[in-house]
Amino acid sequence: MEIIGETINRIINRDPSFEVKITNANAIIGLRNQVIHAYDNISDENIWPILINHLPKLKSEIALLKPKKSYRR
């Protein structure tokens, strides 16, 4: 969660238009900050539903943002 939040934060800092393309970008960054700075208040019961419910959606959104590879022969 730390790495994902930090990466999204860096992406948005470089190109703010990505904030619109990544659902809940600010919440993801906020969770990263909470994990980093208030880790003693984080519980498995709070993190697990995020991983199960939101991570697959984030993965599909990121896949749509990746440039398509062109194969040359």
| pLDDT for position 72 | 62
Distance between CA atoms of residues 30 and 35, nearest Å: 9
Q: Which of 36, 28, 34 is nearest to 59 (CA)?
A: 28
Q: What is the pLDDT of residue 70?
A: 61
Name the DSSP class of 41: G
How many domains are there within the chain? 1
Please report whether residue 73 resides in a domain: no
Query: Looking at the domain assignment, is residue 54 inside a domain?
Result: yes
Q: How far is CA 71 from CA 37, 63, 68, in A?
A: 44, 18, 10
* Domain range enclosing 59: 2-65
| Per-residue model confidence as pLDDT tens for the chain (73 residues) | 899 999 999 988 998 888 788 888 999 999 999 988 887 888 888 889 988 999 999 999 888 887 766 666 5
Other beta carbons within 10 Å of 70: 5
Residue 71 lies in a domain: no
